[in-house]
Structure 1
Amino acid sequence: MNNSVKLAALMPLLLSWFPHCALAAATDEKSENKQEDQIVVDGLAGKAGAATGGSGDQVSGAGFKTDDIEVGPLGNRGWVATPYSSTTVTRDMIDNQQAMSVSELLKYSPSTQMQARGGMDVGRPQSRGMQGSVVANSRLDGLNVVSTTAFPVEMLERMDVLNSLTGALYGPASPAGQFNFTAKRPTEQTLRRVTLGYQSRGAYTGHIDLGGHLDDGHKLGYRINLLNEDGEGSVKNSTLRRKLLAVALDWNIQPGTQMQLDYSHYEYLKKGYPGGFSYGPGVKLPSATSAKDKNLSLKTAGNDLTTDTVSTRLIHYINDDWYVSGGVGWQQADRAMRSVSSTITDNQGDIKRSLSNASAAGRFRVLSNSVTLNGHLTTGSVGHDVALSTTGYVWSLYSSKGASQRYDLGTTNMYNPSPMEEPADGKIHKNGARYKSSQNTQQSVTVGDTVTFNPQWSAMFYLSQSWMQTRNYASGGGKTSETNNNGLSPNVALMYNITPSVMAYVSYADSLEQGGTAPTNAGLKNEGQTLDPYRSRQYEVGLKADVAGMNLGAALFRLKRPFAYVDTRDMEYKEQGDQLNKGLELTASGNVWQGLNIFSGVTFLDPQLKNTVSESTSNKRVVGVAKVQANMLMEYSLPSVPQWVYSANVHYTGKRAANDTNTSWAGSYTTLDLGTRYTTKINNVPTTLRIAVNNVTNEHYWASIFPSGTDGENGSPSAFLGDGREVRANVTFDF
């Protein structure tokens, strides 16, 4: 991609920052897509609507702008008043872009990626180029959930991403940001929404979204989402199947008190798609091939995932200034992963293929909790918004007792692959005997205060004390090891309101993360020992503005994360290296002109490994992380025909290091998605028709590359192909 094309792609974003565009946007032209499903619970008006995690966000345009954000123990805060860089994907965006996975939502934020493991649907969300964790960085309605399983976005009201260290708020976690999902809640007005859809080569979808109340007094509210998708995916002879049942119930016990109950069951099956491509340190990653080539896949191989989630929350307003909320959640994620793995053997794209039943954890269970007391008080002329909370989880991993099977499928070339056949002795199974292989427990107590000195100056102080425990078990059931650690995570920020709608801030965050464990059977002094918690640090300077119908944000940051490896001089596993990421984020979202709305951002990042296990990998770029990533989602409707909307999304990812020594690179890529929707009435039933073509140019690209380790060991990375051109269409009826 040449510089002129890059500049053209980014020009609308840059122009949106100029004052004359912002002033022009003051016409505040609103589209036809208003939030129709807002929660108004008797006795819980105002702040309570936000506290229940509902759809009380005031949006403009096509849901591109949001005025507030839920931030853990801080509760619901204004977007401008929050000293964190963040992005929010709303329900309107999910519906109108026909998004079907978390990885599709992440591309709209300039700082986030999905780091694929068993594919883009079984990966770890990450922000600012830092590798995420399985549980600590992802939450549903404030409670921890598994990130490495497919997640049904059809049940979501919104996704908020905090691009920051969050240990002071949420407890120990990777410095990969915090991904907060909010489920749909019961609607004040009766909702009867049916969506029929089509995608790929022949996958058909039916989605029913029902909401309302069971009684005239609006004491008992409900929200039910039913989804069924089945058919052939974008690859010939593939299978794509999704089933969802999600139920949310609200019981308004009395004015100011509400209990929420949630349950969801999600089945996800995706077979016949290409798997991962691994390559050794001496092989350069070739340019990507077509992800739609059926000869790169086996129709019986893929991911079969089932996830069950149950949670309950209680919110009680003591008075206008104080409220308490608490919740408990349980989730079980079963993963049957039978995949075709391709090993690239040379720079020309020759590959050796094999079929395996993955030896990774086949079942995850998470039991999570959260209790928070929020309030406002005044001492003299100084205001205090205080919080006291505790949050934590118990995460259990269950591994297969049986040995992993692997079958040789021969050699071929990735650009002209020969077809594969199921091995004659190949075994296809979903479940088997499991045992609890490990249990990770975290619990944190957080205390904090946001101090308002005057209309211009305020400061935020948060501190958490955390306790961490890791237990490992043998297949026979006996405990093999146990480690216990604890520590503090602070976060401070100073904020200055240049105007009521423009805020500048400077912040410092120091966050814990579970330390690494020394390898066993390697002759180490401390083999099997888990190190003290790692401590990541971040400095950030930012500017946020909510002007003329737009959210404008800028953040300059320096983020450092430690890692550990074996010191061969004394044969001890110890913390002795760092990943240092420095960058600049720019975002602009909202109404730019009459009928024109954007959701855009660009991140400039310098990700480097320092003091690595090998001199050849020190001071090198981090594998799979681009120096530049940008996205621009635009929607336009003629003022004379507001019911007809055109959309375009341009995503750009720059060149990425493909190995730790930076002798191999994955080229930059740009994808273009085009779509349109039309809103009308059929027999007096409000109807919306949508059609979209994703990756219009059928770009071949590597969607994700992850290294074998974070310490610069220069092992064998793995790469996953991005989706090819795909057509999606649906029609929504609001009865």
Structure 2
Amino acid sequence: MAQTTTFRGTAWSVRQRAASACTVVHLLLGASLLWPCLAAPAQAQTPLARAYDIAPGSLEEVLGRFGHDAGILLSFRPEITAGLDSPGLRGHYSVEQGLTALLADTPIVASRQANGGYLLARVGSHAEQAAPLPLVVINASPDRDATVPYAGGQLARSGSLGVLGAANVMDVPFSTLNYTATVLRDQQARTLADVVVNDASVRMLTSTGGFGDTFQIRGYSLANDDVGLNGLFGLSSAGHMPAAIVERVDVLKGPGTVLNGISPGGSIGGSINIVTKRAGETPLARLTGSLQSRAQGGLEADVGQRFGPDNAWGLRVNGVVKDGEGGISGGRQQLGVGALALDYRQRGLRWSLDAFSQREDVDGFRPQVGFLDGVTSIPAAPAGNSNFYAGSRLRLQDDVLASRLEVDLDPDLTLHGAIGYRNGASWQNLPTGSADAAGLGTLRNAYYDATTRTATADVGLHLRLSGAGVRHAIDAGLTQLRQEGGNAYVTSSGTASYSIYQATPLPPITDARTAPRKAYGMVLTSLTLTDTLSMLDDRLRLFVGARRQQVRYDSYDTQSGLQESAYQASALSPLLGVVLKPADDLALYANYTAGLTRGTIVPSGMVNAGEILPPYRSHQVETGVKLDWGRVMTSAAVFQIDNPSAVITQVAGTPSASTYGYDGQQRNRGLELAAYGEALPDVRLMASATFYDARLRRTTDHANDGHVAPGVPRRAFNLGLDWDTPWLAGLALSTRVLHTSSVYFNAENKLRLPGWTRVDIGARYSTRLGARPLLLRATVENLFNRDYWLIDKPYVTIAAARTVLLSASIDF
């Protein structure tokens, strides 16, 4: 079905400015999240002329900027602007004059609608009488055009870049990917992990059915609880983020501390941000039934509608229930997800509230295993549906509440603020053991229960200025994250011998289970300032900025409750970037960025024991090129990321004395190649390749200098194709191939895990059941049922076996 693109503007009355400014103050003071209900009604707008300075570009982009600056709602189908360019708009114009100038010499006309917006259509068409269409809604905010899809619909043209807001991929000096809800739905993604692996630079270090998801970007790990949610850290589950609540996934490759702030876990290879669903312009009521191989059934509801004057209010509700034997033989996985998204928008004001709750109960979760010292070879991976820790159990729960408010005090000045809270908990039987080359070992059982409470907030502004032929986009922000975690660990008194090739009953735990007690408290506070300078008709863009980050971390003894250590330090992280566009469809870029990771307190036994080591800084240098062929986007990038590592250094002349510090280094160098879009009519493409040279430097006693960094492959390839067949309308076939070369398990480079190749296939058929749209889907992951290891240092886990996914969705 065709899409309609909508641009919502920002012009608004003096009365609204006062009310909205008051709203910001109340937010910062912790007032009610429902304050937007008190916003003053819109006053009639007079058709006064105003100044515009819109650079040349595609007609779609220029119209989007015009709608934002003029404070109007523009709606049109993307195909009517396809292939059309615009010289931009400079000078003083009323809304009608501006539209007339922009649409001159095009076959497009604008007609005013009852809600004050404009519908664009080609001359002679009957768009006004067409059936209701699903709208792509672009609000007048830093995220206003982030949902406009690129050709093929699998990726968006723009995405969120933290403090910079949303930006077109051609206009930023970074490697970014912005996956749309379309690709999540077409690939039957269950969690965030199922979609991010569509790029060769992103890999999963864990597998489905385990405790939690761990990602790898550019060779460095990123835990699931380091994923952002609508731009806020600390709100994502430590386990899995359900795809049911996701509208878009934004991936930034490379350190993003200046853009996003330091994450709770200090991930530096890249960042992932989830944008949650919102109600669209067209009412939605969708019910999906699903079946996963090994007899896990599921039911999902997705309901959304806008209401009130000018559809200012929107409500989106999602619910998921699943139960049955998941990906582990003899196991059982129960899942419940409930999410509510409420939003309000009027000229100059946007507010949203997100609440979701997740419960997961798994009998027989996917095991992890380490290897004994002295092992000279890695045993072959067992079957992907096996669980050699019989009787393991995991329960996870997450409750999240978040709200965001944006206020346009002027067409060139936007204030924004956001707050969020998460309460997470987990209870598990945690068997641990290390195996030998034959897969044999001894395990010990344990209860490991944990709790996490996080409160996070940010405030900031976006200001646009012009002068001397240079346009400035200035962004400033202040963020703070407060997190408190507790745990309880109770082990079994006995052990049991086991083999990774057969299920072994866990030894009993005779001591009573205890409630988690406080283990740490953390406060992350940062202040950032950036300036994007655009000149030469936007052919040249310079990005400069810095973030001052302060880290406080206190640890506690969970038995006595006494504080064990107190850490407080700060560091500065810079950003430099440049984009040169010799042509509208060609961008050359380069960046220097830095990431920050929390330091530590030097342990006892060292000469510098007790010293507070400041947050250590990783450095990235990257350069690349992006070329938009109209229907296919291609890119190439080379990068180098240097990340400090802890080493023990002997004091010269004193063999018995050593110091501890972040003097070692892992250097990841790489080449990335990518192409995505619509390669041929009705053929969608996502292809990528990454080549790594990851080395260890300045290791302890220089024992491993020059060795390949463990867990980082030499190469990784992806190829995804999605094809609308010509012989049956509504039928699409897809395939996806992922390949990762072998990796070393340890820094000594004595143990190697074999490489692997995974092939997925899929089919979907869009039809009608009576008058109701019906979508049938079938997917087979790991078609050839390959057994292989995934490494999440210092453990490995088994990749999932062949998995069949079936679903049927009907719209009411």
- Do these two structures clear the TM 0.5 threshold for a shared fold by scoring above it? yes
The one-letter code of the counterpart of 1:672 is: V
CA pair 546-57 structure 1, distance change in 2 beyond 3 A = farther
The one-letter code of the counterpart of 1:179 is: I
1:224 maps to 2:317: yes
Contact 2:648 2:660 survives alignment (8 Å):
yes
1:626 to 704, 708, 713: 713
1:490 maps to 2:574: yes
* Cα distance in structure 1, aligned partners of 2:151 and 2:545: 35
**Secondary structure of the corresponding residue to residue 59 of structure 1:** coil
2:354 to 258, 262, 265: 262
Q: 1:75 — aligned with what?
A: 165
Displacement after TM superposition at 1:532 (Å): 1.5
1:734 maps to 2:783: no
**Secondary structure of the corresponding residue to residue 93 of structure 1:** helix
Displacement after TM superposition at 1:643 (Å): 0.9
The one-letter code of the counterpart of 1:381 is: G
**Secondary structure of the corresponding residue to residue 641 of structure 1:** coil
- The 5 Å alignment of 1:171-210 reads 171-172=261-262, 173-210=266-303
The one-letter code of the counterpart of 1:434 is: P
Contact 1:146 1:333 survives alignment (8 Å):
no
Aligned length: 680
Q: Deviations over 1:151-187 (max 9, x none)?
A: 1121001111101111222223432211111110122
Q: 2:204 — aligned with what?
A: 114
The one-letter code of the counterpart of 2:466 is: T
The one-letter code of the counterpart of 1:503 is: A
Q: Deviations over 1:680-700 (max 9, x none)?
A: 000110010000111010001
* Cα distance in structure 2, aligned partners of 1:248 and 1:111: 32
Q: 1:720 — aligned with what?
A: 797
Q: Which has the higher contact order (CA 8 A, sep 6+)?
A: 1
* Cα distance in structure 2, aligned partners of 1:514 and 1:638: 52
1:237 maps to 2:324: no
2:732 to 638, 645, 648: 645
1:247 maps to 2:348: no
* Cα distance in structure 2, aligned partners of 1:94 and 1:166: 24
Structure 1 residues without counterparts, runs of 5 or longer:
1-31, 707-716
Q: Deviations over 1:390-433 (max 9, x none)?
A: 12311211122xx421365633443xx3443354556896xx42
- The 5 Å alignment of 1:211-360 reads 211-215=304-308, 217-252=310-345, 254-292=346-384, 294=386, 296-298=388-390, 300-345=391-436, 348-357=437-446, 359=448
CA pair 517-105 structure 1, distance change in 2 beyond 3 A = farther
1:363 maps to 2:451: yes
- The 5 Å alignment of 1:442-461 reads 442-455=524-537, 456-461=539-544
* Cα distance in structure 1, aligned partners of 2:11 and 2:412: 18
2:154 to 64, 83, 99: 64
Contact 2:10 2:411 survives alignment (8 Å):
no
The one-letter code of the counterpart of 1:390 is: L
* Cα distance in structure 2, aligned partners of 1:202 and 1:363: 31
- Which structure is larger by alpha-carbon Rg, 1 or 2? 2
* Cα distance in structure 2, aligned partners of 1:116 and 1:498: 42
* Cα distance in structure 2, aligned partners of 1:407 and 1:98: 44
Contact 1:185 1:223 survives alignment (8 Å):
yes
CA pair 118-404 structure 1, distance change in 2 beyond 3 A = farther
Structure 2 residues without counterparts, runs of 5 or longer:
13-134, 652-656
**Secondary structure of the corresponding residue to residue 51 of structure 1:** coil
Q: Deviations over 1:615-661 (max 9, x none)?
A: 33221111111111121111011245341000001000111011111
The one-letter code of the counterpart of 2:647 is: Y
CA pair 579-35 structure 1, distance change in 2 beyond 3 A = farther
CA pair 592-650 structure 1, distance change in 2 beyond 3 A = same
* Cα distance in structure 2, aligned partners of 1:39 and 1:653: 44
Displacement after TM superposition at 1:606 (Å): 0.9
**Secondary structure of the corresponding residue to residue 92 of structure 1:** helix
Contact 2:228 2:235 survives alignment (8 Å):
yes
1:473 maps to 2:586: no
* Cα distance in structure 1, aligned partners of 2:450 and 2:161: 32
CA pair 338-72 structure 1, distance change in 2 beyond 3 A = same
Q: Deviations over 1:45-93 (max 9, x none)?
A: 9996273858952225553232111111111111110111112222111
The one-letter code of the counterpart of 2:535 is: F
1:379 maps to 2:467: yes
* Cα distance in structure 2, aligned partners of 1:642 and 1:654: 39
1:514 to 592, 598, 608: 598
* Cα distance in structure 2, aligned partners of 1:50 and 1:290: 53
CA pair 473-502 structure 1, distance change in 2 beyond 3 A = same
Displacement after TM superposition at 1:305 (Å): 0.8
1:125 maps to 2:215: yes
The one-letter code of the counterpart of 1:392 is: Q
Displacement after TM superposition at 1:133 (Å): 5.7
CA pair 137-685 structure 1, distance change in 2 beyond 3 A = closer
The one-letter code of the counterpart of 2:790 is: A
* Cα distance in structure 2, aligned partners of 1:36 and 1:356: 56
Contact 1:119 1:276 survives alignment (8 Å):
no
Displacement after TM superposition at 1:469 (Å): 1.0
1:88 maps to 2:178: yes
**Secondary structure of the corresponding residue to residue 57 of structure 1:** coil
1:655 maps to 2:738: no
Contact 2:202 2:218 survives alignment (8 Å):
yes
Contact 1:564 1:575 survives alignment (8 Å):
yes
CA pair 148-501 structure 1, distance change in 2 beyond 3 A = same
Displacement after TM superposition at 1:39 (Å): 9.2
* Cα distance in structure 2, aligned partners of 1:492 and 1:310: 34
1:533 maps to 2:622: no
**Secondary structure of the corresponding residue to residue 259 of structure 2:** helix
* Cα distance in structure 1, aligned partners of 2:509 and 2:256: 49
Q: 1:100 — aligned with what?
A: 190
1:671 maps to 2:761: no
* Cα distance in structure 1, aligned partners of 2:8 and 2:355: 19
Q: 1:19 — aligned with what?
A: none
**Secondary structure of the corresponding residue to residue 382 of structure 2:** coil
* Cα distance in structure 1, aligned partners of 2:492 and 2:8: 52
- The 5 Å alignment of 1:485-634 reads 485-520=569-604, 523-569=605-651, 570-634=657-721
Q: Deviations over 1:510-546 (max 9, x none)?
A: 33321133234xx223435431121111111011122
The one-letter code of the counterpart of 2:755 is: S
Displacement after TM superposition at 1:723 (Å): 0.3
* Cα distance in structure 1, aligned partners of 2:140 and 2:616: 34
Report the more deviating stretch, 645-654 or 219-228.
Answer: 219-228
Report the more deviating stretch, 369-378 or 135-144.
Answer: 135-144
CA pair 342-555 structure 1, distance change in 2 beyond 3 A = same
Displacement after TM superposition at 1:41 (Å): 11
1:411 maps to 2:497: yes
Contact 1:170 1:444 survives alignment (8 Å):
no
Displacement after TM superposition at 1:371 (Å): 1.4
Displacement after TM superposition at 1:599 (Å): 1.3
Contact 1:275 1:342 survives alignment (8 Å):
no
1:157 maps to 2:247: yes
The one-letter code of the counterpart of 1:511 is: G
CA pair 48-114 structure 1, distance change in 2 beyond 3 A = same
